[in-house]
Amino acid sequence: MKVTTDKTENSQAFLTIEMEPAEVEESLEKSYYRLVKKANIPGFRKGKAPRSVLERHIGKEGLFEDTLNHLLPQAYEKAISEQKIQAIAHPHIEIVQTDPLVFKATVPLLPAIKLGDCHQIQLAPEPVELTEDDVNAAIEHLRHQRATWEPVERSVDFNDLVVLDVESNAEDKPFINQKGAQYQVLRDLSSPVPGFPEQLSGMKRGEEKEFKLQFPSDYPKGELAGKEVSFKVKVTEVKEEKLSELNDELAGEIDPKFKTLDSLREEVSAQLRLRAEERARVEFEERVIEAVVDLAEVEFPPILVETEVDRLINQQSRRWQMSGEGLEEYLKSVNKTEEELREELRPVATKMVIRSLVLGKVVEEEKIEVSNSEIEAEIENMTKSAGGTKSGLQKTLDTPQARESIKQLLVSRKAVQRLVEMAEGSKMNNQTVQEGEK
């Protein structure tokens, strides 16, 4: 066997492996003995037919295919051992010629990651701002949640709730056909078809109307894109939203613990601030991670992106199955092939791979570790609100596989926190130096 390393780039080694004729013949003989024991050949007991007879029975191609299936993996393993190559995944193998047998192997190698000077990153979280308008909007949302709908004797206006009978067809195929459907007439609402709420505006109870609407050419559901829909609707009732007065009584309706409207406002303000601070924290972490990634030099084999694309598709497939449709149904609904979906996901997958590799390098260089007690604490935190199912959930999370997953989560969380501390520390140190210079 002769092995040549053609080149190494993109964390891949490209090998050309040429087999000696004697090695191929030895493997062919092994395939013969392996296959003849299984073959039912008229006139011969199992395992007793000569090789020439077996070749006529299954074809020389069948014997050679079995030889390749066993010889190539063995030759590949021997080649990377001789070349002292550490592969991280299965290679891509291409047969160049069969006489003599020559094949090429593209071998995925360990990624190469070089971090920049993370300590020089200077960032600070955006200040959290909460206005009276934010609080007022949240209170107004609570009012709408508790609103009642009362029938009115007037024409339909935007924001009304209407009860209507609908008959419709999209190019002679039934679309929506329902009696007593409830529909809130919201301006610019694109459901069920753009322009539908505008057609209802101004109609009166008992009035019937026929109209046509068209789906946009870029509509997400491909089978409906660009199609015209014919509607026949009859409004059977018009309802108007009635909001409670903005007073202490409303506060008590929302939760008996609130005795006054002011106490409700204080609680709403506190909750809004907590959520705003959490968003600011997450956004700041993302900015820090992006800054670290921008400074890093990362090289990795393409197989990592393909593996991540597979993971994303499998993840989405589980969601689609929960909604009653599989991958094929989804692809048909969006008018895409699987390869088009993969191509669409590759930029996202690439970004996720780079981010994961960079954070992994941070863990390595900063010597970040997670103890068993930290894993136990995280399991306890994850199960504390499980109620009666807590013991079962704890058993599920206490398996080796689940503990390893939790460990990786905590390691990643610690790495991000370390980077945040570096960014904030560098910013503070820089400000201190500038103040000292003044």
Average pLDDT estimate for 9-35:
94
Rounded to whole angstroms, what are the CA distances from 158 to 28, 153, 203, 236, 240? Answer: 80, 15, 11, 16, 10
Q: What pLDDT score was predicted for residue 154?
A: 94
- Mark which of 259, 274, 296 sits at the end of a domain: 296
- How far apart (Å, rounded) are the C-alpha atoms in residues 380 and 197? 50
CA dihedral 402, 405, 407, 412 (to 10 degrees): -160
Q: What pLDDT score was predicted for residue 219?
A: 78
Q: In which residue are the tokens 């395992």 written?
A: 47
Residues 264-317: tens digit of each pLDDT:
999 999 999 999 999 999 999 999 999 999 999 999 999 999 999 999 999 888
Residues 142 and 260 placed together within one structural domain of the fold? yes
Residues 167 and 45 placed together within one structural domain of the fold? no
By the 8 A CB rule, do 74 and 26 touch?
no
Residues 137 and 259 placed together within one structural domain of the fold? yes
Dump strand ranges (E) for 115-217: 148-151, 161-170, 173-174, 178-184, 208-214
- Say if residue 107's pLDDT is above 90: yes
Residues 213 and 232 placed together within one structural domain of the fold? yes
By the 8 A CB rule, do 201 and 156 touch?
yes
Rounded to whole angstroms, what are the CA distances from 48 to 66, 95, 102? Answer: 19, 32, 32
Residues 159 and 235 placed together within one structural domain of the fold? yes
Average pLDDT taken over every residue of the chain: 91
CATH number at residue 185: 3.10.50.40
Residues 119-146: tens digit of each pLDDT:
889 898 899 999 999 999 999 999 999 9
Residues 376-430: tens digit of each pLDDT:
999 999 888 777 788 888 888 989 999 999 999 999 999 999 999 999 875 555 5
Residues 21 and 73 placed together within one structural domain of the fold? yes
Residues 309 and 196 placed together within one structural domain of the fold? no
Q: What pLDDT score was predicted for residue 437?
A: 45
- How far apart (Å, rounded) are the C-alpha atoms in residues 192 and 208? 18
Residues 264 and 140 placed together within one structural domain of the fold? yes
Query: DSSP readout, 345-412?
Result: HHHHHHHHHHHHHHHHHHHHHTT----HHHHHHHHHHHHTT-GGGHHHHHHHHTSHHHHHHHHHHHHH
Coil, helix or strand at residue 13:
strand
- Say if residue 328's pLDDT is above 90: no
Q: What percent of the chain has pLDDT over 70?
A: 96
Residues 178-224: tens digit of each pLDDT:
999 999 999 989 889 999 999 999 999 999 999 999 988 877 666 77
Residues 166 and 284 placed together within one structural domain of the fold? no
Residues 305 and 316 placed together within one structural domain of the fold? yes
Among 83-87, 206-210, 330-334, 430-434, name the one with the lowest average pLDDT. Answer: 430-434
Provide the domain count of the chain. Answer: 5
Residues 347 and 233 placed together within one structural domain of the fold? no
- How far apart (Å, rounded) are the C-alpha atoms in residues 122 and 291? 9
Average pLDDT estimate for 156-167:
96
Rounded to whole angstroms, what are the CA distances from 290 to 149, 409, 423, 429? Answer: 48, 19, 12, 21
Q: What pLDDT score was predicted for residue 432?
A: 45
Question: Tokens for 263?
Answer: 């106490």
Residues 165 and 236 placed together within one structural domain of the fold? yes
- Look up the domain containing 320 and give its range: 300-365
Q: What pLDDT score was predicted for residue 429?
A: 53
pTM of the entire predicted model: 0.75
Q: Which amino acid is at 102?
A: V
Length of the chain, please?
438
